[in-house]
Structure 1
């Protein structure tokens, strides 16, 4: 008999999980997300039990396709795979998408896991999860380091020296799209979570960003408003075309034949609210992609803009500004914004882009580098023709800032 591969077994397991979840739906009493929620105390909340028997047993992440031989047999539990399956199972049980869920370890040995699930309809469900074997194993794996640290603190006498600390705290796992974090609960430490005190107010404060999407959108737009300038830089078509041809000749490349991009330009303008950059139209009159280079087609430019716009919409302003630096005052220190138009890929999720939201000392239509590895939003060139002129002389301009 042929034994299924580990990959096929995993897929089969996921399908069984989803099938089981679809057949265990139930009616759940929920709390509406509004100002009255702030007044709700723990004893007024009704917890209801959801079965997690369909959660798969712990499994390792599949590195068999990794390009580095050293990684092919690497053993590491697939925590993010668990997160996605777990959210799907609970979403099916609650008949709504779970945007975020907080799972707390049991208060006592014979207690269930408490959880608070934030649903897409702005309702919050208070849940109990029993210690179903596979789910418990995942929790033990995820909180292993927390338990080890707690054990070490006890052995070193921390709680005798600081009696204000709780020697038996709980731990919290917070899961959501793009989120996987662990926190200490009722530990007595300065950095501490207390979901059982003023529970409604705690839930209100820790609701997912999607609950306040309109407010978050206004905040980001207010910040960007003074920088937005979609006029672009004047570009002489003859100069732009000349520099592009110099690049093609220097590299002995053959661009794909230009195509009619009117439909894509119209779609871009509908999605962005401003016209497709005229300087990029000049560039695209000379190619529809250039094999072995990072030049994007019109369709790819639109797709990448849409991908980065999704990130911009999902993140709060503080997150967008949290880890990226400006290049002097020429650029904005943001991870992304809708007024950067990527037209050249430097690989690995990094791009060269036209900047329609320059810093106070920058100009509309300047060329910048941004992306997954660009910790500084680098100023590259004053305009497209300047960028092409530099590119025709070598690739140094494309180096990422990582």
Structure 2
């Protein structure tokens, strides 16, 4: 198949005429039922992804769809990034149904813009566009190989990106955390009685710890194991049991794996210098659910002013992590303080 090439550094040097754009018919578009349907954009996106999957017999990680200024006299193009780390290029046949669909999508994305050629970026659950004029030096058509290389999905360079993240975080990893477990027990018992909490009885979590170690590549930390000998979560509260801890950690680990080090690191934000300026790391283990994707976590990769096992706040509403307490016992103590950072209504219900 001449319009499918293996991605390599050589692609960056290629020009538009070096790629082959054989005509491809999109047979995956349904008839339009409601031009005003808010889901039309994603229906169009999914149909194109499916069409390129059928044409290549490969999963499509990402698709660049290039539209012309005049849909009646110019051509549509697609550049697909395949699971096999290949790039597939094609001209899309401008059938009446295809033009009808595109007219709807173009009107919705244009807003107040005048007619303009655009590049659409399609992926699983993602849809965006921008005018071709946003790319300097007519990059799309004059420096096509560079344009294609600049927009490769992370999966194409997964090994390189993983190494960048591993190299960055390695100097900060501290798995051995100091803990006064006697003090933790004392404060936890006081907290349970003071707030009228109902403990879910602790259980054997060896299988969970083993699963964590297999995925994380490091042992489940002892200070959390100790804490989980006191409970397996607390009813109607933010305090999580072992299963929930593992699940939430895995969810955040997926985000960490999907993002690049550049995307994870926020050099524009500041904190106290105790936590890394990161959105998430595999060494933050959530144990306290503040809802809406926000958590408190044990931190085993603290910044230079921090300490292993410190309690940090991170999540969907924050660009970086922030220190909550230097130790677990201090955090438990703060939950009993009426003037503490976290109010009762934020973490438990007495109903």
Rounded to whole Å, the distance in 2 between the matches of 1:384 and 1:190 is 50
TM-score by length of 2: 0.87
- What is the aligned counterpart of 2:162 among 217, 224, 229? 217
User: Which residue of 1 is the match for residue 247 of structure 2?
Assistant: 303
CA-based RMSD: 2.8
1:98 aligns with 2:60: yes
Cα shift at 1:325: 3.0
TM alignment of 1:143-158, pairs within 5 A: 143-144=106-107, 147-151=110-114
- The alpha-carbon distance between structure 1 residues 252 and 127, as it changes in their structure 2 partners (threshold 3 A), is same
Cα shift at 1:340: 0.5
**Structure 2 residue runs without a partner (length 5+):** none
SS of 1:351's equivalent in the other structure is strand
Rounded to whole Å, the distance in 2 between the matches of 1:295 and 1:386 is 15
Rounded to whole Å, the distance in 1 between the matches of 2:237 and 2:166 is 34
Rounded to whole Å, the distance in 1 between the matches of 2:103 and 2:293 is 34
User: Which residue of 1 is the match for residue 122 of structure 2?
Assistant: 175
1:339 aligns with 2:302: no
1:356 aligns with 2:300: yes
Rounded to whole Å, the distance in 2 between the matches of 1:122 and 1:362 is 41
Cα shift at 1:351: 0.8
User: Which residue of 2 is the match for residue 111 of structure 1?
Assistant: 74
User: Which residue of 2 is the match for residue 17 of structure 1?
Assistant: none
TM-score by length of 1: 0.77
Once structures 1 and 2 are overlaid, which stretch shifts more, 206-215 or 127-136?
127-136
TM alignment of 1:320-399, pairs within 5 A: 320-322=264-266, 325-393=269-337, 396-397=341-342
Cα shift at 1:211: 0.9
Rounded to whole Å, the distance in 1 between the matches of 2:223 and 2:43 is 43
Rounded to whole Å, the distance in 2 between the matches of 1:277 and 1:227 is 16
TM alignment of 1:266-285, pairs within 5 A: 266-285=210-229
Cα shift at 1:367: 0.4
Native 8 Å contact 1:323 1:375 kept in 2: no
Q: How many residues align?
A: 342
TM alignment of 1:96-245, pairs within 5 A: 96-106=58-68, 108=70, 109-132=72-95, 135-144=98-107, 147-151=110-114, 169-177=116-124, 179-185=126-132, 187=133, 194-232=139-177, 234-245=178-189
User: Which residue of 2 is the match for residue 317 of structure 1?
Assistant: 261
* Residue-by-residue CA offset, 1:311-365 (whole Å, 9 max, x unaligned): 1111111111248734221111111111111111111111110011111111111
Native 8 Å contact 1:31 1:123 kept in 2: yes
* Residue-by-residue CA offset, 1:54-96 (whole Å, 9 max, x unaligned): 2245688xxxxxxxxxxxxx97446446534542443233211
